């Protein structure tokens, strides 16, 4: 199957303050060696806690940040070198805060018109008509009425739909959704998720769904990537990853999600230590402080992402050992 976007070895380091006299600034490894592909007609979930680097990955793919290393290939070409306007007509983004991602002093119509005009999607006289079509597509009716409104006159769910309509305006192939539902009321989230599913099917879009909510990722995503401390620690088809997780961090996440079917589980969560800060990491697995399965190799060598089962891989010496390690 052809891919819409290919990511290879993506790396992003930020330098942080706190430079010491002789040791220079410390580096935050926000993203380290991240590789995956987005395919048309697929929703890929990028799951992780805050600080895992998932939002940074999305922003690099949206070309809001430049990567420190690695490459992003779009249509086989290096995206960081390709013409930016063309890239933006193919890759769009939806942000987490529905209110923050809309300009408070501009109407809904403005937000959707601008991409149409910038990229010349339709002729000037057809713009209003296209705006109405897009609003109808995302379920905001009657569109003429909504188009005149300002963001503060809409509810959270409506605003997010406007953001989706804006993203759809340029007829992109890839949509990067950065936690699109986490700031919405619970009863409205499903509506937005269903809209994403419908768009994926109707338009063969490739979605990157960044979230910390495993349950919603299960609901919409075909593929799942689990991130920890800037690295992808597990990837594979969603059901496989969730039902048979390889990486201990995935197992930890699964056991921590509230599930009304069980009581307050006290024994499952064996989380020791604290979240890896990603600052100046040393060699070895970044999860080692909290891992119940850690062996001595885990402190010495950073594990590679190894495909332990067909289509499913993890970055763990114990559950997904690299072949040469097995025979060592």
Partner 1 sequence: MTDMLDHPMREAPAVEKESLVELRELVVDYEIPGRRVRAIDHIDLTIHAGEIVGLAGESGCGKTTTGNAILQILREPARITNGQILFQGEDLVALSREQLRRFRWRNVSMVFQSAMNSLNPVMRVGDQFVDMMHAHQRISKRHALAQAGELLRMVGIDPDRTRSYPHELSGGMRQRVIIAMALALKPELVIMDEPTTALDVVVQREILQQIDALKRELDFAVLFITHDLSLLLEFADRIAIMYAGEIVESAPAAELYRAPQHPYTQGLMGSFPPLTGPIERMIGIPGSPPDLSNPPTGCRFHPRCPHCRSEDAVLYERQIADRPVLKPVGTDHLVACHLVEEGL
Partner 2 sequence: MSNIAPLEPVGPSLSDEPVGPLALPSSRRRRGFGLPVWARLLLGNRKSCAGIIVFAGIVGAAVAAPWLAQNSPTDLVGLPGQPPNRDFWFGTTDQGYDVFSQVVWGARTSLTVAACAAIASTVIATTLGLLAAYSGGWIDDVINLITNVFLVIPTLPLLIVISAFVPTRGPLIMVLILGFTTWAIEARILRSQALSIVKRDFVQAAKVAGEGTWGIIWREIMPNMVSRIAAGFVFVFYGSIIFAAGLEFLGFGDVNGTSWGVILYWAQNNSTVLQGAWWHFVFPGLAIALTVAALVFINYGVDELSNPRLRGPRRKRRALLGLVSGRPAVRAEEAR
Binding residues for partner 1, rule: CB under 8 A, are 49-50, 155-158, 185-191, 193-194, 212, 214-216, 218-219, 242-243, 252-264, 266, 269, 271, 274-275
Could you tell which of partner 2, partner 1, none binds residue 264, using a CB distance below 5 to 8 A set by kind? Answer: partner 1
Phi, psi (rounded to 5 degrees) for 17: -70, -170
Shortest spacing between CB 54 and partner 1, in angstroms: 12
Q: Which stretch binds partner 2 (CB under 8 A): 72-80, 191-199, 224-232, 304-312?
A: 191-199
> Quick one: 196 exposed, middle or buried, by C-beta within 10 A (0-12, 13-18, 19+)?
buried
Shortest spacing between CB 272 and partner 2, in angstroms: 36
Q: Which residues of 60-89 are buried (b: 16+ CB within 10 A; e: fewer)?
A: bbbbebebbebebbbeeeebbebeeeebbb
Shortest spacing between CB 247 and partner 2, in angstroms: 32
Name the residue nearer to partner 2 (CB basis): 117 or 257: 117
Place of tokens 């959707």: 112
Rule CB under 8 A: say whether 204 interacts with partner 2: no
Shortest spacing between CB 176 and partner 2, in angstroms: 9
Name the residue nearer to partner 2 (CB basis): 86 or 301: 86
Rule CB under 8 A: say whether 114 interacts with partner 2: yes
Do residues 146 and 140 lie in contact, with contact meaning Cβ atoms separated by under 8 Å? yes
Name the residue nearer to partner 2 (CB basis): 46 or 170: 170
Rule CB under 8 A: say whether 118 interacts with partner 2: yes
Place of tokens 């942000």: 95
Name the residue nearer to partner 1 (CB basis): 36 or 219: 219
Distance CA 156, CA 178 (A): 15
CA distances from 256 to 9, 109, 265 (A): 30, 42, 9
Structure tokens at 314: 């993890």
Q: Point out which residues pair with 8 in neighbouring strands.
A: 71
The CB density around residue 34, as the number of other CB atoms within 10 Å, is 25
Q: Point out which residues pair with 16 in neighbouring strands.
A: 26
Q: Which residues bind partner 2 (CB under 8 A)?
A: 62-64, 84-85, 88-89, 92-93, 95-97, 100-107, 114-115, 118-119, 133, 136-137, 139-142, 145-146, 148-150, 152-155, 157-158, 163, 166, 169-170, 191, 194-195, 198-199, 202-203
């Amino acid at each position: 199957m052809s891919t819409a976007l290919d990511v290879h070895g993506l790396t992003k380091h930020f330098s942080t303050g706190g430079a010491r006299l002789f040791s220079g600034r410390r580096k935050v490894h926000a993203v380290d060696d991240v590789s995956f592909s987005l395919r048309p007609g697929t929703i890929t979930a990028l799951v992780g806690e805050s600080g895992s680097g998932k939002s940074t990955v999305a922003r690099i793919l949206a070309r809001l940040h430049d990567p420190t290393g690695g490459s992003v290939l779009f249509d086989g070409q290096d995206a960081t070198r390709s013409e930016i306007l063309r890239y933006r007509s193919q890759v769009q983004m939806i942000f987490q805060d529905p209110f923050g991602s809309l300009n408070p002093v501009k109407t809904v119509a403005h937000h959707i018109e601008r991409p149409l005009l910038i990229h010349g999607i339709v002729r000037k006289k057809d713009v209003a008509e296209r705006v109405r079509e897009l609003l109808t597509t995302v379920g905001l009716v009657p569109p003429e009425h909504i188009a005149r409104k300002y963001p503060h006159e809409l509810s959270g769910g409506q605003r997010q739909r406007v953001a989706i309509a804006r993203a759809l305006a340029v007829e992109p192939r890839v949509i990067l959704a950065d936690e699109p539902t986490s700031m919405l009321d619970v009863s409205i989230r499903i509506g937005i998720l269903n809209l994403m599913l419908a768009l994926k099917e109707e338009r063969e879009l490739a979605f990157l769904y960044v979230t910390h909510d495993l349950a919603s990722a299960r609901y919409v995503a075909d593929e799942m990537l689990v991130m920890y401390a800037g690295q992808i620690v597990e990837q594979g088809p969603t059901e496989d990853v969730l039902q048979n997780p390889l990486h201990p961090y995935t197992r930890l996440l699964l056991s921590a999600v509230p599930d009304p079917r069980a009581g307050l589980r006290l024994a499952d969560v064996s989380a020791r230590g604290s979240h890896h800060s990603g600052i100046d990491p040393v060699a070895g697995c970044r999860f080692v402080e909290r891992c119940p399965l850690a062996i001595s190799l885990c402190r010495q060598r950073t594990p590679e992402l190894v495909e332990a089962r067909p289509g499913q891989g993890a970055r763990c010496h114990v559950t997904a050992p690299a072949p040469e390690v097995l025979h060592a």
